[in-house]
Amino acid sequence: MNFITRYSHVRNRSLIRQGELICRDLRGTLPDFLDASFDSLGIGYPKFYKMDTLSKLGFLGAEMLLKEIPLLEDYDPFQVALILSNAYGSLDTDMKYFESTKTVPSPALFVYTLPNIAAGEICIRNGIKGENAFFIWPRFDAKQMHNYVELVMAADNTQACVAGWVDVMGSHHDVFLYLAEKKERGNALVHAAVHLQKLYELKGYGTANDRSEEANH
Amino acid sequence: MEQLMTDLKRQIIEALNLKHLKPEDIGDDQPLFVDGLGLDSIDALELIVLLQQHYNIKLANPQDGPQIFKSVKSIAEFIKANQPA
């Protein structure tokens, strides 16, 4: 049996850890919010500013998730997996890169024109070297995510898995990350699709129902 | 030359998203890569784009890059020597 031991959200310009609001700022653009949130956390990691919006969202979600637990004190880097999903892939950055090609193409944008670069940024920051995958689904699919994470964790070597949903397009943004572990920590839930769906929905902070409208901005 | 180096520092910070730095944080002779400012290979490509966009200079031989992009001062000297009339 596996357990959901931690979870985080970045939604409606809010950073939320374990259902608790960490910071919220409705002013400015989404990139402004992400940079301001990063600054407020006091993390010394200048590379953050160079990342695209998808990677910044994933990075902040993972910081919320893993900041207070010494993951690599408990596990070998190869025992930790990372399984992500979203609807828009890297389209937000693809379009910015396409715009840049009308003058001089930007190498810094080009390197982020794949969604799994966001997974790579999380792995580099947190020293994760295990199995990883990035799925494109129409919406967060708790059942599929549960099944795949269970499959990965059935492998002898995998002891923990960072998993979830990191999506962005225009002003639309929606992040739900969780940590699945073979060992139980305090207040852990059993890793089950019904629990994932409930945690994803997270009452009180809104959902991603307005995705298509926001994505047009 | 002083003004050119000041402009370059501002342009480098903007082009490379070095938001944690101010122009005065970058020394004229400070190495830009590895142990200095810590720039990487993608940053080197962005510097080539910067030269093209702001100074209309195309790097004829990419192998000259490490020498040209050694520091803000070396980039400024390269611009001075190669800027179109």
ipTM of the complex as predicted = 0.77
Per residue of chain A (217 residues), give pLDDT as tens. 999 999 999 999 999 999 999 999 888 899 999 999 999 998 889 899 999 999 999 999 999 999 888 889 999 999 999 999 999 999 999 999 999 999 888 899 999 999 999 999 999 999 999 999 999 999 999 999 999 999 999 988 999 999 999 999 999 999 999 999 999 888 899 999 999 999 999 876 655 544 555 555 5
Q: Residue A132: name the closest of A61, A71, A83 by CA.
A: A83
Distance CA B68, CA A37 (A): 36
Residue of A104, A111, A112, A117 to mutate for B, most B C-beta atoms under 10 A: A104
Q: How far is B16 from chain A (nearest CA, A)?
A: 7
- The model's pLDDT over A101-117, given as tens digits with 9 standing for 90+, comes to 998 888 999 999 999 99
Q: Which domain holds residue A188?
A: 3-215
- How many structural domains is chain A composed of? 1
Q: Residue B64: name the closest of B80, B53, B75 by CA.
A: B75
Q: Looking at residues B56-77, what average pLDDT do you find?
A: 91
Instruction: Give the residue numbers in A contacting B (CB under 8 Å), as ranges.
Output: 35, 46, 49-50, 103-108, 111
In which element (H, E) is residue A10 found?
strand A3-11
What pLDDT score does A127 carry? 96
Identify the residue whose tokens are 């998730």: A65
In which element (H, E) is residue A199 found?
helix A193-201
Q: Which token pair is A143?
A: 């059942």
Q: Could A106 and B46 be called an inter-chain contact, meaning their C-beta atoms sit closer than 8 Å?
A: yes
Taking residue A84's Cβ as centre, other Cβ atoms within 10 Å add up to 26
Distance CA A38, CA A55 (A): 12
Separation of CA A137 from chain center: 15
- The model's pLDDT over A3-41, given as tens digits with 9 standing for 90+, comes to 999 999 999 999 999 999 999 988 889 999 999 999 999
Q: Which token pair is A125?
A: 């920051």
Q: Could B42 and A107 be called an inter-chain contact, meaning their C-beta atoms sit closer than 8 Å?
A: yes
Q: For B53, which of A46, A104, A108 is closest by C-beta distance?
A: A104
Instruction: Delineate the domains of chain B, giving CATH numbers in brackets.
Output: 2-82 (1.10.1200.10)
CATH number of the domain that A205 lies in? Answer: 3.40.47.10
